[in-house]
Amino acid sequence: MIDSDMKKITNLLYMLAVLLLASCSDFLDKSPKNTVDPETTVTDDVAIALTNACYRTLQSSNMYNQRIWTLDIVAGNSLVGAGGGTDGLETIQASNFITQSDNGMALYMWRSPWVGIGQCNIVLNSLLEAEAVSERIKNRCLGEAYFLRAHYYYVLVRLYGGVPLRLAPYNPGEPTDIARATVEETYAQIISDCKNAVDLLPAKSSYDDENVGRACKDAALAMLADIYLTLAPNHTEYYQEVSDLCDEITNLGYDLSSCKYEDNFDALVNNGPESLFEVQYSGNTEYDFWGNNPQSSWLSTFMGPRNSDFVAGSYGWNQPTEEFVGQYESGDKRKELTVLYAGCPDFDGKAYKSSYSNTGYNVRKFLVSKTVSPEYNTNPANFVIYRYADVLLKKAEALNEMGRSDQAAVPLNIVRKRAGLPEVSGLSQETMREKIIHERRMELAFEGHRWFDMIRVNNGEYAIKFLQSIGKSNVNKNRLLFPIPQTEMDANTLMVQNPGY
């Protein structure tokens, strides 16, 4: 069924829509291409067009335009908010850990990555033996496809466990049922793809304005570090790998002291100096979210205070909880840049009212003024997936887990200094572990990291303990994975459901 879905989506969705793809990064303005005629000679231009189409899935509402950041709701940082009733019901169910296999959130997050994987397979299949493509373009495009395929599989394995590994384009007549690989086999493929990307991709600094936003060596190193950090609780030798990879990124010229926190979320500072990789968006009003052409970001519209005119749209999703807001230390500059609270001003100086939200708070971090985005579908703000502060906190975590807590304080304090917070020192390993996971929660709030951090630490025991402490009594080890969608179970005779569903 995986192959069947990929074939249908590729043949219908891309042929109808992918040629319309646009982005605030110039490289995506070039028409993407999702298929190759056997008689077509793959040239540089064809290779680039094929590769550009691999990025489109990132923009989807079922990935970074909605579903990935709603995992912060599941993680307990926020509530759905929205319009009440059944609005956001699938996310409410997930956040209360009563999800079943027919849950819409589980279905949507399952479907989208396969589209991206299918397109990456087309690129890899078309370019590996292509003779009319220059070596520079071939290497870059292959690196981009390896990076993105690794990323799509990495999303799937953390949400669902081991998944079917489809590593070549679907051919008519092939079986559509395919069994799940193990978690270990899935991660082995992801690591292989990611290492290929590291070897093939140029550094971010080498891209000109036309190509900024493409996958780069910096981003591939960051993803590989993230993968190893995820696996390290059961493979402690990976902590040294994480530390070394973070050093490689630093040596590419990154320096947090020259970066402003708020610039990471400013539509006028896309692909800024702290960023390693972002989902590219534009303010093209020709396309809209519900038409499945998410050229513009919907974060501002989704998170704008409901019944207010702070931003265009304002659906009121993702309302921070009192518990989350209470975690900010006194003097933390990130609070007013991340959260709207009673009395703080909007873009026009009007005071925010706590009545706009069920919790008294809304997310400020991703809001874009109506001066920049006057309509609901004109928001050009990118969504950052990997940035340097995240790298520093990975470095700190790896050092601490290797028993080097004093050294771990160095990268941790770089992040804290920018936030206006005092340095920490002399902490035990356990206290430092708590401090680092806390710092990740506040630094990366609502950016899609918290859920994955929680299920990583102590092999998920941290997640269970924390969630139960805030009243999520239904959570257990099985519920740290989503169910395989029932439609997939019904269609694929080889598919096995996750335990507990």
DSSP string, 418-477: HTT-----S--HHHHHHHHHHHHHHHTTTTT-HHHHHHHGGGGHHHHHHHHHTT-TT--G
State how far the Cα of 22 lies from the Cα of 29, in Å rounded to an integer.
Answer: 5
Could you read off the pLDDT of 184-228 as tens digits, one per residue?
999 999 999 999 999 999 999 999 999 999 999 999 999 999 999
State how far the Cα of 391 lies from the Cα of 398, in Å rounded to an integer.
Answer: 11
Could you read off the pLDDT of 328-355 as tens digits, one per residue?
999 999 999 999 999 888 888 888 988 9
Could you read off the pLDDT of 61-105 as tens digits, one per residue?
899 999 999 999 999 999 999 777 788 999 999 999 999 999 999
Q: Is 67 within the bounds of a domain?
A: yes
Phi, psi of 283 (to 5 degrees): -95, 35
Question: pTM of the full predicted structure?
Answer: 0.92
State how far the Cα of 160 lies from the Cα of 1, in Å rounded to an integer.
Answer: 16
Give percent of the chain with pLDDT exceeding 70: 90
pLDDT higher than threshold 90 for residue 39 = no
Q: Is 336 within the bounds of a domain?
A: no
Specify the pLDDT at position 225: 99
pLDDT-derived band at 21 (thresholds 50, 70, 90) equals: very low
CA distances, 296 to each of 234, 299, 411 (Å): 40, 9, 34
Where is pLDDT greater, at 184 or 8?
184
**Which range is most confident: 123-132, 180-189, 365-374?**
180-189
pLDDT-derived band at 14 (thresholds 50, 70, 90) equals: very low
Question: CB count, 10 Å around CB of 116?
Answer: 25
Q: Is 319 within the bounds of a domain?
A: no
Question: CB count, 10 Å around CB of 251?
Answer: 8
Specify the pLDDT at position 18: 35
Specify the pLDDT at position 420: 99
Which of 154, 153, 131, 126 is CA-nearest to residue 142? 126
Specify the pLDDT at position 293: 54
Specify the pLDDT at position 290: 46
pLDDT higher than threshold 60 for residue 115 = yes
What's the DSSP call for residue 76?
Answer: T
Which of 320, 330, 341, 353 is CA-nearest to residue 419? 330
Could you read off the pLDDT of 389-422 as tens digits, one per residue?
999 999 999 999 999 999 999 999 999 999 999 9
State how far the Cα of 312 lies from the Cα of 367, in Å rounded to an integer.
Answer: 9
State how far the Cα of 408 lies from the Cα of 424, in Å rounded to an integer.
Answer: 10
Specify the pLDDT at position 446: 98
pLDDT higher than threshold 50 for residue 130 = yes
Dihedral angle sign, alpha carbons of residues 134, 138, 141, 143:
negative
3-state secondary structure 348-377: CCCECCHHHCCCCCEECCCCCCCCCCCCCC
pLDDT-derived band at 155 (thresholds 50, 70, 90) equals: very high
Question: What is the tally of structural domains in the chain?
Answer: 1
Query: CA angle, 477 as apex, 475 and 481 as ends, to 5°?
Result: 90
CATH code where residue 174 lies: 1.25.40.390
Mean pLDDT of 134-149: 98
Q: Is 242 within the bounds of a domain?
A: yes
Could you read off the pLDDT of 243-265 as tens digits, one per residue?
999 999 999 999 999 999 999 99
Q: Is 369 within the bounds of a domain?
A: no
Query: CA angle, 311 as apex, 364 and 95 as ends, to 5°?
Result: 50
Q: Is 474 within the bounds of a domain?
A: no
Specify the pLDDT at position 10: 40
Mean pLDDT of 307-324: 92
What's the DSSP call for residue 13?
Answer: I
Give percent of the chain with pLDDT exceeding 90: 80
The range of the structural domain enclosing residue 190 comes to: 2-253
Q: Is 260 within the bounds of a domain?
A: no
Task: Please compute, for residue 438, the number of CA atoms within 13 A of its CA located in the half-sphere on the CB side.
Answer: 16
